[in-house]
Every structure is written in structure tokens, then in C-alpha cells.
């Protein structure tokens, strides 16, 4: 499946990094464990699973040397453990774990156990892993506990192994994005990066599960409206069949930069993810949970909160980073859809993949 850049779609003004993903920030890794099964309902089987776990590692030694971090909430109908302490202290000391809503507890428990295995001192201090969720119950049988500790461990191991890769990570219907929907199409995991004129790299990771099909916008072109009638009522009939039920949605966004930005600056970076989503058609519905977190690998702290060095990027110097976050977020959202095929899940529910050929035709017709 093609990414947006593979189709020649250019979002914004800044150039992408080497892989156009969060992996372009040195030391960052991304891994997935995808849970797909079609079994009878219990007790004969485990039901229909379209879910998983995604793990982003900002730095392997984050427990000893936390990363400056900050967050922002565009609409709060969602959950992210560890978000309050990260905002209070301005730091991040665990990987970021993504999963589906009703699997959050399982992933949190597994993350705690794995942290205790890796860092025995956690038992003498404490740890609050960052675990964020979106609701995949349209395609996934959320009544069943589908995720196991091994899934969390395998995704984490894959994230560590991916650091320094020369190609983008898997996107679309993988890991935590397996059962997600975006703007009436199949959504999931998407990522992109940008390099500022000063040479700083900004990577964005999204788990997309938001929006109405009629509002889908690609590089400024109202693709959702052009796909069919009914846009005035907030619904459309796309090429190839009916859209199915729209989703109120949610989106988890994680920003990582190698610029030396403190916790307050990271919170400002995180807030800009919402602008990128708006460019694709998000209006942050009442029932959606748009929760964003940003961290910096270019400035480190110790366990007592003392900063190693000092913040070099603040005030107006953040402007290029703001632009990078917005552009990378917009492209990451498009990648999450373009990299996802049509998927059928529980009860025969189906979510159509966004057809890249149709998208390219519409973009050409509008001078892109």
C-alpha cells in the first residue's frame, strides 16, 4: 500500500526526514503486536479480534534519564494513564503504549510487570506507564480480553530493534491500529517526520480513529464531499459502496523531537497536533478523545528532575517546530488510511480502505 509521499502528495513546506517517520529521531523505536483472530465465541473460542498493541520508545534509558515532556487535550473523551504526572513533572520516563479502550488495563499491568523486570528499582520508587487508547469496537469484539502480556512484550522488543532503521515502520492496520477507523474509512497507525531549517527533526505518531467521511480532506481537496452525495447531512456514498456508520472518533498523537525543548515547550508542540488533524477534516466531536503528548530527546533530566544542560529552543524559536508538527500530523493521518486495506471484523462489520487511485484522480482534477 502506498504512503502519501509515494503518491507524490506533498504536505506543507518542510522536507521529511530519512524515513519520513518517528524513526528519524535518533534513538526512537516503534513496534507492534497485531492480534487478529476469527474464532467462535467463548467457551469454544476467543471470538473475533481486530486489535493489538503499539509501543513507542523515546529512549531506552528514560527511567534513569527522563525525557522532557508535555501534553495537550483537544477533546477529553478518552484515557491516557501517566498523562497527569507527565504534565505535572514535565517529563516522560516510560515508553508510550497504545491499545484499544477495554485492553488498557491489561496493557498497563503488563507494562508495569515488564518495567519491574527491566528496572528492579521501580519497586522501591514507583512507575506510571503511559498507556493511551481508542475504541475499536466496530471491528473488534471488545467484550473479550484479547491482548496478552506477550503481545506487549513483543511490541516493546520490536520497538527496541527498530531504532536506526533505514525504512519507515509498519503503518495502517497494525498493532493498536488494527481495528481503528478514520474519517469513514479504515484508519490505524500513521507516522511522518519533518526537518526544520535549523536541522531539528520532528516525528509524529498517530493512532487515528476519528471523523466523518464527508469531511475527509487531502492536501486541501474535499475528497469526502467529492466521493458522493449526502455531504450536507454529514454522510456520503463513496465510490464502491455505502460508507457504513460514521464514527465519533478519537486520536492519540505522540510527537518526538531531537530539539532541546523543555516540558512547557513540549506541551506547546503537542497542542499543534490538533491543527494537523483539522486539515484532514477533524472537528473533535463530543465523543472523541484527542489526546496528544510530546517529548524531546535533545534535553535530558535525572530522577530528581535536574536538567542536563539547558533548553536551547523556546519562544519564537519554536515556530519551525510548530510547523513541523502540523505538517507531519496531517501526513501521518493520511498515511494511516492509505496504508490500510478494507477490513471485515465482528458481526460482519466492514470498514472500506481509502483507494489511492481514486484519491490521485481527485487530486489531479484539482490541480495538485
The catalytic residue positions are 250, 288, 290
- Report which of 301, 270, 36, 51 is spatially closest to residue 181, judged by C-alpha positions: 51
Place of cell 454529514: 234
- State the burial class of residue 330 (Cβ atoms within 10 Å of its Cβ: 0-12, 13-18, 19+): buried
CB 321 within 8 A of CB 196: yes
Whether the Cβ atoms of residue 292 and residue 269 lie closer than 8 Å to each other = no
DSSP H/E element including 190: strand 189-195
Burial (CB count <10 Å: 0-12, 13-18, 19+), residue 286: exposed
- Helices then strands, counting H and E runs in the chain, come out as 8, 17
Q: Are strands 300-301 and 307-308 parallel, antiparallel or unpaired?
A: antiparallel
- Could you identify the residue written with the cell 529552543? 313
- Find the largest Cα–Cα distance for the chain: 62
- Please enumerate in sequence order all residues whose Cβ is within 8 A of that of 123, keeping only pairs 6 or more positions apart, or say none: 116
**DSSP type of residue 13:** S
Q: Describe the chain by its helix, strand, coil percentages, rounded to 5.
A: 30, 25, 45
Q: List, as one string, the DSSP characters of 225-253.
A: HHT-S-GGGT----TTS---S---EEEEE
Which cell numbers hold the place of 320? 519551525
Amino acid at each position: 500500500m502506498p504512503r502519501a509521499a509515494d503518491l507524490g502528495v506533498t504536505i506543507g513546506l518542510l522536507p521529511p526526514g530519512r524515513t519520513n517517520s518517528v524513526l528519524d529521531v535518533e534513538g526512537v523505536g516503534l513496534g507492534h503486536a497485531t492480534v487478529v483472530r476469527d474464532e467462535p465465541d467463548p467457551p469454544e473460542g476467543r471470538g473475533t479480534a481486530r486489535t493489538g498493541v503499539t509501543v513507542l520508545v523515546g529512549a531506552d534509558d528514560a527511567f534513569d534519564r527522563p525525557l522532557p515532556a508535555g501534553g495537550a487535550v483537544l477533546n477529553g473523551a478518552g484515557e491516557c494513564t501517566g498523562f497527569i504526572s507527565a504534565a505535572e513533572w514535565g517529563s516522560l520516563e516510560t515508553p508510550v503504549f497504545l491499545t484499544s479502550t477495554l485492553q488498557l488495563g491489561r496493557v498497563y499491568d503488563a507494562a508495569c510487570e515488564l518495567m519491574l523486570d527491566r528496572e528492579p528499582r521501580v519497586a522501591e520508587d514507583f512507575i506510571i506507564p503511559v498507556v493511551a487508547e481508542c475504541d475499536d469496537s466496530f471491528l473488534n469484539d471488545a467484550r473479550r480480553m484479547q491482548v496478552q502480556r506477550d503481545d506487549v512484550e513483543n511490541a516493546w522488543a520490536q520497538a527496541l530493534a527498530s531504532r536506526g532503521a533505514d525504512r519507515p515502520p509498519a503503518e495502517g492496520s497494525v498493532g493498536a491500529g488494527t481495528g481503528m477507523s478514520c474519517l469513514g474509512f479504515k484508519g490505524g497507525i500513521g507516522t511522518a517526520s519533518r526537518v526544520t531549517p535549523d536541522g531539528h527533526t520532528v516525528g509524529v505518531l498517530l493512532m487515528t480513529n476519528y471523523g466523518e467521511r464527508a469531511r475527509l480532506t487531502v492536501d486541501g481537496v474535499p475528497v469526502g464531499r467529492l466521493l458522493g452525495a449526502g455531504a450536507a447531512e454529514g454522510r456520503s456514498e463513496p465510490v464502491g459502496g455505502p460508507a457504513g456508520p460514521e464514527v465519533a472518533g478519537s486520536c492519540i498523537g505522540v510527537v518526538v523531537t531531537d530539539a532541546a525543548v523543555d516540558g512547557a515547550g513540549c506541551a506547546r508542540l503537542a497542542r499543534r497536533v490538533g491543527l494537523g488533524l483539522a486539515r484532514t477534516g477533524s472537528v473533535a466531536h463530543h465523543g472523541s478523545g484527542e489526546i496528544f503528548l510530546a517529548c524531546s530527546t535533545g534535553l535530558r533530566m535525572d530522577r530528581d528532575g535536574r536538567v542536563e544542560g539547558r533548553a536551547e529552543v523556546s519562544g519564537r524559536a519554536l515556530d519551525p517546530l510548530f510547523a513541523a508538527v502540523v505538517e507531519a500530523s496531517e501526513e501521518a493521518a493520511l498515511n494511516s488510511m492509505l496504508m490500510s486495506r478494507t477490513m471485515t471484523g465482528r458481526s460482519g462489520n466492514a470498514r472500506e480502505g481509502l483507494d489511492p487511485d481514486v484519491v490521485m484522480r481527485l487530486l489531479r482534477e484539482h490541480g495538485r
